[in-house]
Amino acid sequence: MGEFVRLEVEDGVGTIRIDRPKMNALDVQVQEEIRAAALEAAERADVRAVVVYGGERVFAAGADIKEMAAMSYTDMVERSGGLQSALSAVAAIPKPVVAAVTGYALGGGCELALCADIRIAADDATLGQPEILLGIIPGAGGTQRLTRLVGPSKAKDLIFTGRFVKADEALAIGLVDRLVPADQVYAEALAWARQFTGAAAYALRAAKESIDKGLEVDLATGLEIERIQFAALFATEDRSIGMTSFLENGPGKAEFRGR
């Protein structure tokens, strides 16, 4: 457990909780603690789904600008790979991941939210990639994940202007998937994650890998990725359980074992 980031596990759901007052700024220490929590969540069999949460007040307001301002070009050459890979560790969790977004998710905070499979946000949340206003660009996946999520023209608008995006616009353009009152964000994210605690874990993993890897390749290669993942699931115990249950009891009644 890190000083500012911890993995809390209850009833099959792991919460990666960021708690660095006042605004959850993502300095190097927090980045590395996020990586550690993500790797732990990925490895633990008792974690079947993950919530990324910054608390009731703010998700993460961005990188630690004071720390970053002191860095030279060579410093950032050394650090930029670690910055990207720390957040990418969240995207690589082979389980369903939901970001519970309250308050601000800006810069690196928005990029962290983009690493989740879906984003449930407060109806008064604010998101954005304001790096251009500092004379830089997003460096932890924003130019790539945001573009894949909302399309190139909308991503260019947000990144070129650095403007803040209110919750209703974020929902309209697909930057977030659901809006709820601020005091319900974490509960809604937990509810979404809990629906997978008894699901077929390897089928979920195969679905996530097929979608994510398929986005990076042409259609023919994506179809081959899907075919291989599909066939591989016939080696799992859950596939046998699921099909037997369907034949005997109808759909939706299988009790999977995650194997």
The single residue of 108, 109, 141, 258 carrying the catalytic annotation is 108
Kindly list the distances between the CA atom of residue 213 and the CA atoms of 41, 43, 139, 218, 229, in Å, as whole numbers in the listed order. 20, 20, 21, 10, 11
The single residue of 131, 155, 167, 201 carrying the catalytic annotation is 131
The single residue of 63, 105, 155, 200 carrying the catalytic annotation is 63
The single residue of 49, 61, 62, 111 carrying the catalytic annotation is 111
Q: Is position 187 annotated as part of the catalytic site?
A: no
Q: Is position 121 annotated as part of the catalytic site?
A: no
Q: Is position 108 annotated as part of the catalytic site?
A: yes
What DSSP letter does each residue of the chain carry, written as one string?
A: --SSEEEEEETTEEEEEE--TTTT-B-HHHHHHHHHHHHHHHH-TT--EEEEE--SS-SB--B-HHHHHT--HHHHHHHHHHHHHHHHHHHT-SS-EEEEE-SEEETHHHHHHHTSSEEEEETT-EEE-GGGGGT----SSIIIIIHHHH-HHHHHHHHHH---EEHHHHHHHTSSSEEE-GGGHHHHHHHHHHTTTTS-HHHHHHHHHHHHHHTTS-HHHHHHHHHHHHHHGGGSHHHHHHHHHHHHH-TT-------
Q: Is position 111 annotated as part of the catalytic site?
A: yes
Whether omega before 22 lies within 30 degrees of 0, making that bond cis, reads yes
Beta strands at 118-122 and 178-180: parallel, antiparallel or unpaired: parallel
Do 139 and 169 meet the contact criterion of CB atoms below 8 Å apart?
no
- Catalytic (active-site) positions: 63, 108, 111, 131
